[in-house]
Amino acid sequence: MACGLLCRASFWLCVGMRLYVHGAGRPGRQAWPEQDETQAVFADHSVHSDMQAKVDAIVEQAPAGPAVVVAHSLGAVVAALAATADRLAVSHFVLVEPALYDLARGEHAIEAHIEAMTTARKLAHEGDLYGYWQIISPLMFEDAASPDRWVRERVVAERFAALPLPWGHAVTVATFAQTPTLVVTGGWNDEYEQIAARLSAAGAEHLQLPGLGHRPQDHPQFNSLVSGFAHD
C-alpha cells in the first residue's frame, strides 16, 4: 500500500500537475469529461467576458508549480497570455485546436473567418442578434440558424456575442519556443490546421485525432498521447 502511494507520488512529481483550460463552450470540469481528475485542476473562466479577467481567473486557479497546460480553442489564447506575462508556470503545452489566430494572419481561411466574425459582431452590436446567429451558427457549429430553434438558441447566441475575440492579442510563437508544445487537431478545419502548421514550423509537435470535430480531447487516444508527451 505504502509502496503504491509512493510510486504514484513519484509519477506525478515527474509529469507534474495538469491545468485544463476550457474554450468558449463547456466550462470548467464539464469541458473535459474524458480526463482524469488525478493531479488535475480544471480552471473555469466562463463567468468573465473580458480577456484580462479570464487570464486572471486561470492564474488564480493554477497549481503552484509548473504544470502541463492543456488548453482548448479560446482557452489557448488565455493560457498563452498568462504565460507571456510570466504569470503561469508551464512545463509543457498541449494545445487542442488552439484559436491562436494571431499566429496565422494572412492565411486565406484565417482572414475569411475573421471577416465573417467581424460582420457578425457588427450585427450583434447593432441589436440584430438573429442576424449575428445566422452567420455564427453555420460558421461555428456547422448548422444553419432556424427560427424554430431561436427561442432555445438565443441564450447561446447572447453568450457567444459577449466573448472576447481570439485575435488582436499580439500572441506570437515566441510564447511556445522554450516550452515543449504538442498541438492536437481534428483534421476537419483549415483554420486550426493552419495555426497548427505555424506552431509546427516553430518546433511544436502536431498530431491529428480525426472524427470528433472541434473536440479531439474526447478521442480515446487523447489521454495516452498527452501522458506520453508529458513524459518526454
In tens, the pLDDT along 45-101 reads 999 999 999 999 999 999 999 999 999 999 999 999 999 999 999 999 999 999 999
Residue 156 has which C-alpha cell? 447561446
Instruction: Compute CA distances 9 → 4, 47, 188, whole Å.
Output: 9, 34, 38
CA 51 to CA 78: how far, in whole Å? 7
Q: How does DSSP classify residue 216? A: G
Show the 3-state SS of the chain: CHHHHHHHHHHHHHHCEEEEECCCCCCHHHHCCCCCCCCEEEECCCCCCCHHHHHHHHHHHCCCCCEEEEEECHHHHHHHHHHHCCCCCEEEEEEECCCCHHHHCCCHHHHHHHHHHHHHHHHHHCCCHHHHHHHHHHHHHCCCCCHHHHHHHHHHHHHHHCCCCCCCCCCCCHHHHCCCEEEEECCCCHHHHHHHHHHHHCCCEEEECCCCCCCHHHCCCHHHHHHHHHHC
Residues 175-211 pLDDT 10s: 999 999 999 999 999 999 999 999 999 999 999 999 9
Predicted confidence (pLDDT) at residue 6 exceeds the cutoff of 90: no
Supply the pLDDT for residue 16.
Answer: 73
Which comes out higher in pLDDT, residue 10 or 215?
A: 215
H or E stretch covering 158 = helix 150-161
Q: Which amino acid is at 151?
A: V
SS3 of 82, please?
A: helix
Domains of the chain: residue spans and CATH: 2-104+169-231 (3.40.50.1820), 108-161 (no CATH)
Residues 99-134 pLDDT 10s: 999 999 999 999 999 999 999 999 999 999 999 999
Residues 133-153 pLDDT 10s: 999 999 988 899 999 999 999
What share of the chain in percent tops pLDDT 70? 94
- pLDDT confidence band for 4 (50 / 70 / 90): very low
The whole-chain average pLDDT of the chain stands at 93
HSE on the CB side for 64, CA within 13 Å? 1
C-beta separation of 55 from 82 below 8 A: yes
Q: Which amino acid is at 90?
A: V
